[in-house]
Amino acid sequence: MEIGSSPLFSAEVLAYTNTGINTGTGGGDGDKFYWFQDMEDGKRRSRNNEFMDLHSSISLFDDEMKHEQLQWFTDSDQGRGAVFESNCSETNDYFDQIQSHYTEIDEFDDSRKKRARKSSSPVSVPATEDSGPSQSGGTGRRLWVKDRSKDWWEKCNHPDFPDEEFKRAFRMSKSTFDMICKELESTVMKKNTTLRDAIPVRQRVAVCIWRLATGEPLRMVSKRFGLGISTCHKLVLEVCAAIKTVLMPKYVQWPDENKLTKTKSEFESVTGIPNVAGAIYTTHVPIIAPKSNAAAYLNKKQSEKTQKQSYSITLQGIVDPTGVFTDVSIGWPGSMSNEQIFEKSAFHQSAVKGQVEGVWVVGSKGYPLMDWVLVPYAHQNLTWTQHAFNEKIEEIEKMGKEAFARLKGRWSCLQKRADVKLQELPAVLGACCVLHNICELRNEELEPELKIEISDDEVVPENNLRSMVAVQARDYIAHNLLHHGLA
């Protein structure tokens, strides 16, 4: 609001009044002037009073406005505080509901786990009781273990269990199994502890042999024998190591002079080739690709056939006419040729030192012709003499190949990719060779449904003629076979 003053008299009246005062003339007029002056002063005072009243009103109005504004801000803060407190309260209620919900879920999970533990029916297996009370005041200690069914093994282990079914499961008769258990008892037997009884020797050996025979995964071994998976894996490795340590020196050995004479006579009676001590063959055992140096274990020939990378380790062995291994070389990478593996074998090292003299080991075209290795003719356009000689060599090769076929057929784990560590695999393969020899020596016939055919690719050595003496000897043998009517 704007407040201003308006003139009450004109300029002429003011000029007249001022003139009268200055000249002193016209006394009546002077009185009139004072009257007007008093009127003006009264009106001025009246305006000043009105102005003061108006100023007071404005000041009062400003005070009221400030008070109202202060009251509004106060009320607004209180309102916002109330709203904030309301929101906090609602939020706390929401979180309380969530916490209650999760608490119910936890309680449900705990109850479900308890029901699961009850349904698994754990039993307390008493261990050997202590002679006196323990420090806790008890009379002994007990160990909680999971109750697994041993019905299948207990049925197989029963004296009345049929021998045919036992042989179908373990690839050997009860008598052969008992003999192996007796041989290994002192090595694989464990003592009872205060917490649990040791697994019996027969069950330990049975776990290993059944696993080697069937090649089934460890979870199936666990189900059959009522033992933990890790326990079964440990037992297989322990028993294989014991077989390799205790039984291999006894059942896989180069024949002595008497046996060697008998072996040479048996080979000659079949083929007419003299001084043959055995047939050599190399097979591949599939494995999972190793984490380090995988290229060394790549089986190139098998990879080309299957159109995917195949990895393996090798098993090379020399067998006699009955199919028994007399020498083995185990664990060399699958990328190596037969020639390379043979040169690293113990037999080759002994031959180089002159410890093998006057005998032949018959191999395929994958081996070189040497003073102690006899192989067929590998060139084209063979003569009748050379062709007849190759046929006789093939008969000896077949003996070795069939022995390896029985080995893999009897122990099915050799047909599948091994799931044990690479450094542990030679002991497993060695155990299979030992168990094969025991079965062959005890005339354990292989079931017809277990027989398989094997085929291992061979690479002809670049230098397959290592000795001119051996070349002449082979020609002489071939000539005698043809002219003496043996070929």
**Residues of the chain predicted below pLDDT 70:** 1-147, 484-487
Torsion sign (Cα): 306, 311, 312, 313: positive
**Cross-strand bridge partners of residue 314:** 284
Query: How high is the pLDDT of residue 471?
Result: 94
How far apart CA 406 and CA 52 sit, in angstroms, is 131
Nearest-angstrom CA–CA distance, 170 and 450: 12
Which pLDDT score, from 0 to 100, does residue 40 have? Answer: 55
Task: Of 438, 428, 487, give the one whose Cα is nearest residue 208.
Answer: 428
Tell me the backbone φ, ψ of residue 143, rounded to 5 degrees: -120, 125
Break the chain into its structural domains and give their ranges.
Answer: 150-249, 253-415+452-484
174-188 helix and 201-214 helix, angle to the nearest 10 degrees: 120
What does residue 16 show for φ and ψ, rounded to 5 degrees?
-65, -45
- 200 contacts 239 by C-beta, under 8 angstroms: no
pTM over 0.85: no
pLDDT of 115: 60
**Residue 456 exposure: Cα atoms within 13 Å on the Cβ side:** 31
Q: Strand 373-374 to strand 360-362: parallel, antiparallel, or no bridges (unpaired)?
A: parallel
Number of other residues whose CB lies within 10 A of the CB of residue 350: 14
* 212-to-54, 76, 172, 176, 400 alpha-carbon distances in Å: 117, 86, 12, 16, 21
- Check residue 71 and give its pLDDT: 62
Rg for the chain (alpha carbons), in Å?
55
pLDDT at 126: 42
Nearest Cα to Cα of residue 319 among 368, 243, 267: 267
Q: What is the pLDDT of residue 17?
A: 39
Please tell me whether residue 240 adopts helix, strand or coil conformation.
Answer: helix
State how far the Cα of 473 lies from the Cα of 261, in Å rounded to an integer: 20
pLDDT of residue 304: 87
Name the E strands within 56-197. Answer: 123-126, 142-145
Residues in the chain: 487
CB-based burial label for 475 (10 Å; 0-12, 13-18, 19+): middle
The reported pLDDT for the residue numbered 26 is 44
Q: Kind and range of the H or E element at 287?
A: strand 276-287
d(CA 324, CA 268): 17
Question: How many Å apart are CA 211 and CA 127, to the nearest integer?
Answer: 29
Sequence letter at residue 172: M
pLDDT of residue 189: 94
Give Cα 24 distance to the centre of its chain.
134
Question: Can you tell me the distance from the alpha carbon of 254 to that of 257, in angstroms, rounded to the nearest whole number?
Answer: 10
| Cβ atoms of residues 267 and 255 within 8 Å | no
